[in-house]
A and B are shown apart, each in its own frame.
Chain A
């Protein structure tokens, strides 16, 4: 039996705790332990960004972080963005601008985009394109994703 470690992670404002193997990835903790399955696993090699969540308010790739590394920290997933039935303004901007096709990359895109606009409040189109380089859309629907993020930044 391998070592088991107790972790306590605040996820979307809720205190969560579990006994995990040290090798448990944060994305597996979110999906398998907490059943928060909006965060997707794409490439599993920290390239595609589908697994992007916020760790203490910053966008990170949850496939390349161990749950034990997030012990005691604050994690936000795309499930934690809405205020009741009211979607986060970034989610609304993606909807209004058709910033998605199949939707697989969308949770990661939204989380990366919120972190980006926090750091660069008035981004140019180039800022958005470079700032989202860590998120791949295999539908290649980048144009409307970029328009969504710009619309959000303008409408804030």
Chain B
């Protein structure tokens, strides 16, 4: 199954990539690992006429200790996030979530920046960086800007990135000694989550976000507030879907997803609170 025809550009630097996307505008798409974009193109759900292959820009693939946070280059592969000693030590929730993405072959090619820019609410990493309160660094012709994760996911497959911007870095706060849990419920191995939960807790502070419970990843702010107010895990988990807008599909009805999210949030918070 071929994608529709397109022209192919392979810039040597991020600056050249940004200049190219300005030249071609909405007709162009960045190609990183290609594991979200190429399937869409084969199904004709995306039909860019120009692909700008940034996959070889080695200076956008890194994991660095930046003091209070870990800085991750957008082209860092899931495999490298999953196995990073630095992330296992400081942001184990993200490393564990990356290990749940797709399968081993997919994790050898897919990138953290590609997954986040694709903004699929059913993907594991968007909800995870939302729970962690990460910041996304976007670069355009005019320079760099910082987008808090909470402002990044705008709608179904829609992010706050402008058409001429490239996501270059993900900044994830260190978790210190917070408890954490990533739970992914699916019926088939390697599949997307029917419902997933990314959660961390450090006494009265916590972050909880839901996978596949709406058109965007969902920050469960009612749960977070309840924990801050001293609610029990059971009472807090009952609020899991206060912000969610689950859809029905072949895998699950909205009612089933609602029930599942409450169960998983409770389990996740119990793990975090140990």
Contacts and interface: CB of A to CB of B under 8 A. Distances in A.
Nearest to B102: A134
Interface stretch (A58-66, A82-90, A91-99, A143-151): A58-66
A22 B6 contact: yes
B38 interface: yes
A155 B103 CA distance: 26
Contacts of B55: 69
B106 A46 contact: yes
A23 B34 contact: no
A44 B39 CA distance: 9
A110 interface: no
B34 to A, nearest CB: 6
A116 interface: yes
B5 A66 contact: no
B178 to A, nearest CB: 26
Given A133-B190, A134-B102, A45 B8 contact: no
Given A45-B42, A116-B104, A65 B34 contact: yes
Given A3-B7, A23-B2, A23-B3, A59 B105 contact: yes
B50 to A, nearest CB: 10
B34 A49 contact: no
B267 interface: no
B53 A68 contact: yes
B5 A2 contact: yes
Interface string A110-153: 00100110010000000000110111000000000000000000
A22 B2 CA distance: 10
Contacts of A133: 103-104, 189-190
Contacts of A11: none
Q: Classify the interface of chain A: helix, strand, loop or mixed.
A: mixed
A49 B105 contact: yes
A64 B108 CA distance: 12
A45 B38 CA distance: 9
Contact of B108 (A28, A59, A63): A59
Interface in A17-68: 21-25, 28, 44-47, 49, 52, 55, 58-61, 63-66, 68
A89 to B, nearest CB: 20
Given A28-B2, A66-B38, 20 more contacts: A5-B8, A22-B8, A23-B2, A23-B3, A23-B5, A44-B42, A46-B38, A46-B105, A46-B106, A47-B190, A59-B104, A59-B108, A63-B1, A64-B109, A66-B34, A68-B53, A69-B55, A131-B104, A133-B190, A134-B103
20 contacts: A5-B8, A23-B2, A25-B2, A44-B1, A46-B102, A52-B105, A58-B79, A60-B108, A61-B105, A64-B39, A65-B34, A66-B8, A66-B34, A68-B8, A112-B104, A112-B105, A115-B104, A116-B104, A134-B102, A135-B103
Interface of A: 2-3, 5, 21-25, 28, 44-47, 49, 52, 55, 58-61, 63-66, 68-69, 112, 115-116, 119, 130-131, 133-135
> Which 8 pairs across A and B sit closest by C-beta, in order of nearness?
A134-B103, A22-B8, A133-B189, A2-B5, A58-B108, A133-B190, A44-B1, A134-B105
